[in-house]
Each structure stands twice: as structure tokens, then as C-alpha cells.
Amino acid sequence: MPPAVLLIIWHSRTGAAQAMAEAALAGADEEGVGAARLMRAREVGADDVLAAAGYLFVCPENLGTISGEMKEFFDRTFYAVIGRTEGRPYATAIAAGNAGQGAEAQIDRIVAGWRLRRVAPSLIMRFGGDTPEAITAPKRLSGNVQQSCRELGRSFAAGLQLGIF
């Protein structure tokens, strides 16, 4: 039986969400999945979605919603996969300034149409940007944030491998 595929779909503007996605991939690789894939949202097609057993959506929250590139991914693939992904697991990781719940809620509403099921609480990392300079400054993950992302990837991959999800 081939290993379960965890597809980590990401978009980032300042590097925070990308670093979060890469840390989650490192965690999945620690679990030995081997088939975890990291793909930028604009590169993901319906075939990639259909080939995966589970999904980790990682993006920034921009103006209270998911980033435009992540929304475009959902717009582009939604109808091609609807009715073909039911019951598959998903989780989210959001890079936010001070909130994050808007992006989380938007993803939850979108994937309800795919009939995915959430298997982990949303990981919302708040970077505290409240000035233009702070918001657009390149971000680095603290050790705690990096570890949280790695653990999300590791536990998701383990759940897929063990058939828990």
C-alpha cells in the first residue's frame, strides 16, 4: 500500500506562512511519510488535490480573510473536485497580525463544500503587525512557532499513516 499523501498548500506575502508550511513539511518528513508534498497555491491543480489523502492549508490572513492567491486556488479547483474529496481530513495554519479567525472561518466555509473534515484545531500564529512597516517586514519563526508547525505536520502525517484520519 503506498504511503498516504499529505498535501501542504501554501501562500505567503512576508515569508511567515511559507516558513510555517516548510516547518510542517519537516514535521511530516520526521514521521516518515515520504509522500508529503509542499506546493504553492498557484501551482496546485485539481489532480494534485485528488491525489492527496489530506490537506494542510497554510496562508496569511489579509484584511480579515485568506490571501488572494489562496482564494484563487480554491476558486480554480473547487468545482473540479467537489463530490470527490468527501471525508478527507484537513487542517489550517494561519499567519496573522493580530487575529486570524477570519481566514480560518473562510477556509472552513469553503471546504465545507468539499465535505472535508477538520482533524486538528487551527494553528493561528499572531505576529503582531499593526503598522505598515511591521506588517510588510520579512518574518522569522520563533522556536516555539516553528515547533508548533512541525508538530502539526508530524501529527497529521502520523494520523494519515495509521489510518486514524
d(CA 110, CA 124) in angstroms, rounded, equals 18
CB 152 within 8 A of CB 120: yes
Domain architecture of the chain: domains with CATH = 6-162 (3.40.50.360)
d(CA 153, CA 34) in angstroms, rounded, equals 12
Q: What is the pLDDT of residues 100-149, one digit of tens each?
A: 999 999 999 999 999 999 999 999 998 876 777 777 777 777 888 889 99
Q: What is the pLDDT of residues 23-74, one digit of tens each?
A: 999 999 986 656 789 999 999 999 999 999 999 999 999 889 999 999 999 9
Kindly provide the b/e burial profile for residues 59-86, where b requires at least 16 CB atoms within 10 angstroms of the residue's own CB.
Answer: bbbbeeebbebbbebbeebeeebeeebe
- Whole-number mean pLDDT of the chain? 90
Is residue 91 predicted with pLDDT exceeding 80? yes
CB 65 within 8 A of CB 101: no
User: Would residue 60 be called left, alpha or beta, if left means φ above 0 and alpha means ψ between -120 and 50 degrees?
Assistant: beta
pTM over 0.85: yes
